[in-house]
Amino acid sequence: MASIFWVEDQSHWIKKFSPVLEQEDFDGKPNSLTILNFAEAARQKIALTDKASPPDVALLDARMNGNDQAGFTVSNALRKKWPLLPIIYLSEHSGTEIERAALQQFAATDFIAKHQHNVEQVLCWRIKAVLRQVSIDSDLSATVNVVNSGELTIDLNSWNVYWKGQRLMNPSNARRPLAPTPRKLLRELVESSPRPLTAGQIAERLDLDPDKFSYASYRQHIKTLRRAFDAVDDGDGRFSELCNSGSGIVTFGDEGAYFWNPPGGNSK
């Protein structure tokens, strides 16, 4: 049974797609379709749903009730509870800044334009492709492939990093992902928490040239990470303030070391 979580505020689209989603054979079993008309109702539904019972895929409208951010607020709630859940946007706003943000900032799995030829079949093709990829990834993942620490999630398959449900991006260019070294460095800090790591220890763990990976390099990567976290909070410097007060990515002593202390006191 394919369990589909769908948020859509316009009744004519619900009438158009509901029969298709209910009747299509995704996995040889009857489908379960949950439809919410408002972003707030969707977030409440997510909060009340057992974390151990995620849907198979989420379909989100992007702009709802005149709010360009409505779909993204639902996406954040979904990612916070189920970081690896496939999220497909089904929207009238393809080719716009909304699509760019959905794919690059909010890590959507796919974005489908409602106004296109044969859209019902396109939607079913895409859902089947997503479910097939999830099945393949599950079969390949013989070991734990996700690192969690409080509101931080690191997907070790894709190396995407999520904070409060949002993907960390390059703080100097929000259209580009965070560079590989800061992501891997963050993983080492999280897995070593609460033990601090020096530049030399990071170089050894990541197989970097210790003569080139100096404390200055280490400090620059830490700065990049802190700015990436800050960007999730609209660039207000909130995460950096946490770091200065002893949470997040914390400077350790005079040894040029850093350690990860989950904000809020959450354990790994």
Sequence spans of domains, the chain? 3-140, 146-265
Check residue 71 and give its pLDDT. Answer: 93
Cβ atoms of 120 and 45 within 8 Å: the answer is no
Check residue 140 and give its pLDDT. Answer: 54
Strands 57-60 and 110-113: unpaired
Q: What does the alpha-carbon distance between residue 82 and residue 77 come to, in Å, rounded to a whole number?
A: 9
Burial 97-134 (b: 16+ CB within 10 A, else e): ebbebbeebbbbbbbbebeeeebeeebbebbeebbeeb
Check residue 186 and give its pLDDT. Answer: 96
Arch. (CATH architecture) of 146-265: Orthogonal Bundle (1.10)
Q: What does the alpha-carbon distance between residue 29 and residue 25 come to, in Å, rounded to a whole number?
A: 7
The continuous run of DSSP H or E covering 146 comes out as strand 146-149
Which one-letter DSSP state was computed for residue 64? B
Question: Over the chain (268 residues), what is each successive 10-residue block's mean pLDDT?
Answer: 92 94 86 94 95 93 90 92 92 89 88 93 93 73 72 86 89 87 94 92 91 91 95 82 93 86 68
> pTM for this one?
0.58
Q: What does the alpha-carbon distance between residue 257 and residue 219 come to, in Å, rounded to a whole number?
A: 9
Torsion of CA 163, 169, 175, 180, to 10 degrees: -140
Arch. (CATH architecture) of 3-140: 3-Layer(aba) Sandwich (3.40)
Which two three-digit tokens encode residue 86? 């496939």
Angle between helices 215-232 and 180-192 (to 10 degrees): 90
Distance of CA 212 to the CA centre of its chain: 32
